[in-house]
Each structure stands twice: as C-alpha cells, then as structure tokens.
Structure 1
Amino acid sequence: MTHDAVTPGSRASRRAEAPKRGRKKERRRRRGLKITLLVLLALLLAGGGAAYWMYQDLDGNIQGVDINKALGEDRPEKLPTTGQNLLVLGSDSRAGAENQELGGGGAVSGARSDTALVVHIPEGRTEAVAVSIPRDTLVTRPECTRSDGSTMASAERVMFNSVYSQVGPACVVKTVEKMSGVRIDHYLEINFAGFKDLVDAIGGVTVKVDEPIKDKASGLDLTAGTHKLDGTQSLAYVRTRHGVGDGSDLGRIGLQQQFLLALLTEIKSQDLLGSPTTTYKIANSATKSLTTDEGLASLTSLSEFARSMNGVDPSSMETIMLPVAYDKQDPNRVVAAEPQAGSLWKAIRTDGTIPDSAKKSPATGG
C-alpha cells in the first residue's frame, strides 16, 4: 500500500471527503440562514413598534364576509377526502376616470363580478384545477338573503354575473353550490381596479400573446409575442373582450386564466426575504384588493392557508372553462352543456379524474 492510497479513515480519504463536507456544511449554513430570517421576520411581525403597526395595517386591509352564517345548513355535504374548494371572484368597479372603459359611453355604476373560478385543490397533492364560469351563463338563482336581511326570491334564467351585483357574494356562493353540488370551503374576492397596484409592486407580469389584441373599449393594444404588462395594462388585459376571438366573454376567459397563472407564478418567484420594502408593498396591495370569508379574514389565517397551499405549483394548475352551449332562445347568452358540465362537477365533488369530454365546450367548438 502506498502512502497516498485511499482507504476508509486514511489521511487521503479524509482529504477526499473534505470538499463534500464543505459543500454539506455550506448547504446547512444557507438553510439555517433562511430559517433564521423566517424566524426573525415572524418575530418582527409579532413584535412592537413600527413592525406591529405594519401588521395591524395589513390585517385591517382585509375585508371579511360571513358566508357560513348567510348560507346556513342548506349546503352540499363536505366529503372527508375532497381537499379544498375555493370560489375566486374578480369584482370590477368602474368608478373613477381611470377605471372607465374607453369608448364605453361613460362610467359603469356599481361593482360587478367579471370573473369566477372554482379552484379545486385535491387532498395532499401538488396540482390543482380551476374551472371558469362564464359571466354570461344563464343560471337558476336560489332564494337568497340580502345584506339588509331581506329575501330575494329564486329566479330562473338570470345571468350569472348579475347575482353578485343584485344580491351579493354569499348568494354567488349559494348559486355555485346549487349548480355544481360542490361544497365551497373558502371565498376570495379580488378587486380588479385595485390589483393593478399589486402588479406594479411586483414589477409587472409577463404574458404571451398568440395573436394581436386591439380593443378600443379597454384601450389594450398588443402585438403577438411576449409582453411584460404593468398595472394599467394588466387591468385592460383582464377586462378586454372585443379584441379576442368572436368578441364574446368566452374569449376573454382564456386571457384571464392565463394572466392569473402568470401573476401567481411571478409572486411565487419573488425574493420576499431579500427586500422588506418590496414585500410590504406587495402585501399591502394584495390585502387592499382582497375580500375573503370569515375563516380567512385575518393576516394570520391567510398566511397559514397560503403556507398549506405552498406545494401547489401555479404552472401545473389545469384551467378549464365550464362546458357551455349557446342558448337557443338568446344567442348572446350561454347555458351549461350537458352531460359535459355534470361530469366535470362530479369529478370535482369526488376528487376524481376529469374526463376529456368535460373539458370541451360546444360554444367554442372544443
């Protein structure tokens, strides 16, 4: 055996293992540093002074709606292994000059629900599926209680997005549960007019446009290709409909789904520990734009819920439009297409595989 032979425990062996031990030590150091930063951040948020004021400020931004109290017991059964179901609404108030549609004939009074997504996150998995409900879908609105305590009777063949403006968010949840049989666990509402500040806080959102979009109503003018949108452009992007497809709401849904995933991916990629100022701007903009059910209406509850969903990669989220067909009485409206819609909702209720047929919409040709 020579002096430099590598045997377990020998000097040469120890020299050979040294770089590996160094790399492991460095990884442990970085992991320890990250944990330390997280602990310090938590202590700062829980501490006094300016940090406590910031926590209170962010916490006070979140608006809460008591969905459970408003809906009572007349709801679909919550099955034990069906994961989490969220109803995400994009509400849009056009009040103020900067939020008026260009060429739209002036301001649109009141708030309305322009986007509705049922997001299903299976138990213990990392993937998710988001089902868009077109706002022009004709639905049966169940009997609902208004915020003032009065009752609005059930009605057939009403536009889905009218439920929000006429009765409020609790009735939207009840309508979705009645039409789908899916128990909604949480409600999140994002104000489009306010979320443009969030986009600016994260430095913009990158989207890929397959075909040129020129919409005088929203003011959006994009060539085909990749674009990084600022807050104002993003607001126009999620609102546009006249420059996409046949100009109906169905073409816009694809843009909104694409933008939502791009926004979530961008937020997840941000170095939130590297810049406290940026982190606060993002958190402040996000919470100002947010209304949730009472179960999520605090910074602590919202943070815990976000951490529980941390394994979900936005890029792997499947986006589906509720299968619809043009209404025979009014071609400007759509209705849920059967049996495709029924198959889709059943798969979500039972945490099953969504059949390919349920991913095709007769109104869009597939």
Structure 2
Amino acid sequence: MRGEGARQRVPHASDHGWDESPHEGDEPPDGGGGRHRHRRGGGGGSGGGSGGEPPRRRRRILRWSATILSVLILGTAGAGYLYYQHLNNNLETDDLNLGDHRAPEPTPNAAGQTPLNILLIGSDARDSKENQKLGGAKETFGGTPLADVQMLLHLSADRTNMSVVSMPRDTLLDIPKCTDPDDGKVYEASTQRTMTNETLGRGGPGCTVATWEKLTNIHIDHFMEVDFAGVVSMADAIGGVPVCVDANIYSRDNQGHGSGLKLEKGTTPVKGKQALQWLRTRYGFDGGTDISRAKAQHMYMNSLVRELRDNANLSSPNKLRKLAETATSALKVDDSLGSVKRLYDLSNELKKVPPERTTMTTMPYEYVGARVIPKPGDAEQLFRLVRDDVSLDGKGKKKKPAKEKVSDDPAALDAEIAVQVQNGTRSDAEPPVSGRASTVTQLLTGKGFTRATADTTTALAEEKTVIRFPSAELEGDAQKVAKSLGLPLSSVEKSTDVSGVVLVVGADWREGNTYPESAAKKDDKTPESAEALNGSDKKACMHVDPKYTWGEPKG
C-alpha cells in the first residue's frame, strides 16, 4: 500500500544538480512538480505519516548508491532490527514503474534462481535546510529534483557476482509516457531526445525506472534513493572511506567552479562534508566531465564496500543505531521493498558477493555536442550481458547455449498469419534505411506470409530486430515468422504494446535479404568502452587536472 501524505507542487529549478556549484552552465529542463513522502506503517511516532509534517521535512534522495550499499551490508550486523517499527516508519516509499510497459522478467536458472536488478537513484534536491547547506545552489531550493545519478545494480541469479552500470546524467534518451500516481497527471512521451536526469520530475522515481526498462529491456525489481545528509552521516559512521589522487588537488577556480575538495597526493580517508565533496567533484579530475566524476564515484563505492566488510568500529551498538536512523530517514524505496525486514533480507543476498567479483562500469557512450548518447553496439552489448546474467568480470562459468524454448502454441498456416513490419533501423548514429519495412515485407510474402504488410508511416529506433506478440495464442505464429527469416527465438518477445504480430527490423539488419549471422552470434565480452573497474582494486587513483593542483605534499 502507498503511504499517505499531501503533495506539494513546487517551481521548476535550474539544472545544477549534483554539480559542484551554481555555475555549471547547464540549461534548465522543462517540466516541474515536487514529490511528497510516503511512510510505511502506522502509529504516532516521530516517523509517522503526513499529519503536521512540514513540507520541507520531505526527504529527498541524494545521489549516492555507495551509501545505499552501506545500508544494505550493515543490515547483516543487525542494525535493521533496532527500533523496528520506528525505523519502518522512517522509510519513504513510492511506485516502482510509472510507465505503461514493463521489461520481461528473467527466466530462472536450472536451480530456480533469478537475478535481482536494483536501480540506484540520486537527485539534486535541496528540500531541507541540511540538504540545502550541503548542496549549495540556493536558487534551486524546493525546485524540481533531477535524477543526477543513476546506477543499475545487478545481482546474479547464483549470487556469485555483481555488476553495476552507471549512466551519465546528461545522457540523451527517449523518455516514455509516465503517469503520476498521486494526481494522475500524464507526462507524454518525449518527442525528442531528452536528458535522462529529467525523468525524476515526470511523476517520480518510477519514471526513471520506466526509462531504464525502455532503453535496456532489463526488468528492474527495486529502486532506492538517498539524500545529501545521508552521504555525510554514513561516511562518518564508518570512520572514513579511503580515496586516492595522483597529485595534490583543490577543486576550485577563480570563477567559483568546483566542489572545494582539497586533498594531498596519495590515499586519504574522507568523511563528512569531504566525502560529499569527493562524490560531487568534476572540476579537478582529469577531463572535467561527468564521466570523470563517475569514475571517482566508482572508486568511492568499491572502497566503501571493503571498509564495511572489514571495519571493526561498527561493532558499537550506538554507532549502528545512529546509522540505522540516518539510513532509514534518508532512503526512499519502492513499495515492495518498504520495510527494514525486506532491506535486511536483501542485504543478506548482497553480502554473498565478494569485492573481487564486483564490477563497476559506465554505459558506453559517444558525444553529441556537450551531451552524450548510448554508443551504438557497445551499449546494447553491455545491456544484453546484464539481461542474460553474464558476469562482467569474465570469471563466471561458461554457460552452455540456452536451448531455445519452442512455444506450445500451434502456429497457423503461413498464409493465415498477419504480420505488420516496421522500420526500426534508425539509431543515434545513423538515419533510418528508407523502404526497409517494404523490403522485408516482400521477403515475407515470398516465403508464403501473404498477409504481411508494411507500416511505412513509422520510423523506430531498435538496436536488434525483434518480433513482438500480445498474447500466448500468437506466440507460435511469432516464432514461425522468426524461423522463416533465420532470426533466433530469443528475438521473439511478448509485449502489451502491440495488438498482433509485429516485426521491427532493427539497426542490426540494415541491408540484405538474409539476417546477418554476426547479429545472431553472442559475444560475452564486456566492451572496453564500459571501462570496467574491479571491486577489489585498491590501486585505482584519480588523475588530477594540472590546473587544479596546489603546493607540495606535507612531510
């Protein structure tokens, strides 16, 4: 059940996000609208429902998935059961997916296990005095939050490995239609590519989830968010997180750009505001981009996880109690994860993976002006590995090719199967191939599918050729079409977005009358462009931009 509470709409904010200062120069996004807090549980405790709670008490995420992992792993020490009901009431919940399409659930492995996919979201919201103090950018107080950090955490079905995929905040995507569950407001699908961080302002985190599922076709089980103050408190609770720079760094220039981070060359444990500065730093790291900042965040997360496993200071009940209070007050989760018991159970699953089997990656991208788009080929390859539950570190057991499941639904005669063919050859890098739907329709007709028709009015962008069907009684028909064209049965998928059998010719089949063999073969290597970082790598060190160095190291 969703919790209760009054919703307050707020003015739109400039796109400063989790940048280091209000001088980043990003253009403001369209749209607006704040979110309110939903509480779990009942009662009149301090963590209760809406009541007289001031709007500024609404907790709003921060960006850091590392903080979230700390909460989950700490659950194994028992912190989650302290003040159980009180902590449950602290948790804020919201709807998981606000779109009108869900990615298919993964097929269980031989042991009946399925992977877990959790979207970690952080925003730039400054909706409390504490978060405002930490976040800066005073003119954005109370404005529409932006999902400036998005990371997909994938826990393998057998719980032997974990993968994390970061998406740069300024990635341009097609955002799907989202409906706000509180007031029913409908945000229509974007008609042009839009920055992914704007999804949070289109009804809440469920729209961010819907956007990820549309892009990746990965079924997402849960989402989590955490706020600015949570980052500071978590880092304090464990006594600091070691990070490394290859030169003295001071993230500040004469125009006020920078987070203010000041560190000496080498490894330094950061906590409190300094930890927040590390996570926000862009000016100072080599390249000065969101990509550089993502690398620094990966380093922080890996180091944090190692500290949480080894840090003896967390044996103090008082420290654990403080951490539990902070964590549950800072977190927002989907409804199905909205209790301390469920977080505790999830932590038990996550702790099964050793650091050396954790792989951090960044979605392969290419620049379009000052923004980025998913890199054709490489981005889909990374998403497919996650969908297929293939470990990104290359250390997993080699899987035998899965036997394609043939539908029990008997197919109709070829001449009786109605097939609509659409052109999905458009990509971020190339325009659609003119007449492609008609060409493949003629190919089908020649094979006996005389009811095949071309939709010449629709130009889609589909990385892989796909055949969709709406219900079980048409699955056999869809598979028969796939076999006739030499498509793998894995290209056939059920979808409520279609009313009959629909073949979308993808960017992997831009020419010719035969589906390319290379498109059917699967390469299980993680693309180099994903810049994988192993969770046990203690030698990783951020390269400092020479323009942001200072003095000489002490001693």
Q: TM-score, normalised by structure 1?
A: 0.77
Q: 1:356 & 1:214 partners in 2: Cα distance?
A: 38
Conserved 8 A contact 1:100-1:107 = no
- Code of the residue aligned with 1:246 in structure 2: it is G
- Code of the residue aligned with 2:197 in structure 1: it is N
Is 1:59 the equivalent of 2:91?
A: no
Q: 2:215 & 2:299 partners in 1: Cα distance?
A: 25
Against the structure 1 CA distance between its residues 194 and 208, is the aligned structure 2 distance closer, same or farther, given a 3 Å change threshold? same
Q: Which residue of 2 aligns with 1:283?
A: 324
Q: How does 1:258-273 map to 2 (within 5 A)?
A: 258-271=299-312
Conserved 8 A contact 1:202-1:282 = no
Alignment partner for residue 119 of structure 2, among 87, 91, 94? 87
Gaps of 5+ in 1: 1-37, 46-50
Conserved 8 A contact 1:100-1:106 = no
Q: 2:135 & 2:226 partners in 1: Cα distance?
A: 18
Task: After superposing the two structures, state which structure 1 stretch, 55-64 or 264-273, moved more.
Answer: 264-273
Conserved 8 A contact 1:206-1:227 = yes
Q: 2:94 & 2:138 partners in 1: Cα distance?
A: 33
| % identical equivalent positions | 32
Q: How does 1:267-346 map to 2 (within 5 A)?
A: 267-271=308-312, 274-327=315-368, 331-346=369-384
Q: Which residue of 1 aligns with 2:513?
A: none
Could you say what secondary structure the match of 1:360 adopts? helix
Conserved 8 A contact 1:320-1:359 = no
Conserved 8 A contact 1:205-1:230 = yes
Q: Which residue of 2 aligns with 1:25?
A: none
Q: How does 1:54-133 map to 2 (within 5 A)?
A: 54-67=83-96, 70-71=98-99, 74-81=101-108, 82-94=114-126, 96=129, 98-101=133-136, 107=140, 109-133=143-167
Larger relative contact order, structure 1 or 2 (CA cutoff 8 Å, min sep 6): 1
C-alpha displacement of 1:105? 7.6
Could you say what secondary structure the match of 2:219 adopts? coil
C-alpha displacement of 1:112? 2.3
Q: 1:161 & 1:180 partners in 2: Cα distance?
A: 16
- Code of the residue aligned with 1:345 in structure 2: it is F
Against the structure 1 CA distance between its residues 89 and 213, is the aligned structure 2 distance closer, same or farther, given a 3 Å change threshold? farther
Q: How does 1:219-234 map to 2 (within 5 A)?
A: 219-234=260-275
Against the structure 1 CA distance between its residues 210 and 106, is the aligned structure 2 distance closer, same or farther, given a 3 Å change threshold? farther
Q: Which residue of 2 aligns with 1:140?
A: 174
- Code of the residue aligned with 1:142 in structure 2: it is P
Q: How does 1:164-313 map to 2 (within 5 A)?
A: 164-216=200-252, 217-271=258-312, 274-313=315-354
- Code of the residue aligned with 1:62 in structure 2: it is L
Could you say what secondary structure the match of 1:244 adopts? coil
Size of the alignment, in residue pairs?
A: 310
C-alpha displacement of 1:281? 1.3
Q: 1:237 & 1:129 partners in 2: Cα distance?
A: 22
Q: 1:317 & 1:270 partners in 2: Cα distance?
A: 19
Residue deviations 1:123-142, cap 9 Å, x none?
11322110000001000000
Q: 2:325 & 2:377 partners in 1: Cα distance?
A: 44
Q: Which residue of 2 aligns with 1:17?
A: none
Against the structure 1 CA distance between its residues 237 and 349, is the aligned structure 2 distance closer, same or farther, given a 3 Å change threshold? same
C-alpha displacement of 1:224? 2.2
Conserved 8 A contact 1:265-1:315 = no
Q: 1:357 & 1:126 partners in 2: Cα distance?
A: 17
Against the structure 1 CA distance between its residues 200 and 125, is the aligned structure 2 distance closer, same or farther, given a 3 Å change threshold? same
Conserved 8 A contact 2:236-2:272 = yes
Q: Which residue of 2 aligns with 1:358?
A: 527
Conserved 8 A contact 1:195-1:286 = no
Conserved 8 A contact 2:115-2:158 = yes
Q: 1:234 & 1:252 partners in 2: Cα distance?
A: 13
Against the structure 1 CA distance between its residues 313 and 353, is the aligned structure 2 distance closer, same or farther, given a 3 Å change threshold? closer
Could you say what secondary structure the match of 2:148 adopts? strand
Against the structure 1 CA distance between its residues 275 and 137, is the aligned structure 2 distance closer, same or farther, given a 3 Å change threshold? same
Against the structure 1 CA distance between its residues 71 and 107, is the aligned structure 2 distance closer, same or farther, given a 3 Å change threshold? closer
- Code of the residue aligned with 1:286 in structure 2: it is A
Alignment partner for residue 158 of structure 1, among 174, 194, 201? 194
Could you say what secondary structure the match of 2:287 adopts? coil
C-alpha displacement of 1:341? 0.5
Against the structure 1 CA distance between its residues 318 and 112, is the aligned structure 2 distance closer, same or farther, given a 3 Å change threshold? same
- Code of the residue aligned with 2:163 in structure 1: it is V
Quick check: which one's helix share is greater?
Answer: 1
Q: 2:313 & 2:260 partners in 1: Cα distance?
A: 32
Q: 2:238 & 2:144 partners in 1: Cα distance?
A: 28
Q: 1:359 & 1:185 partners in 2: Cα distance?
A: 27
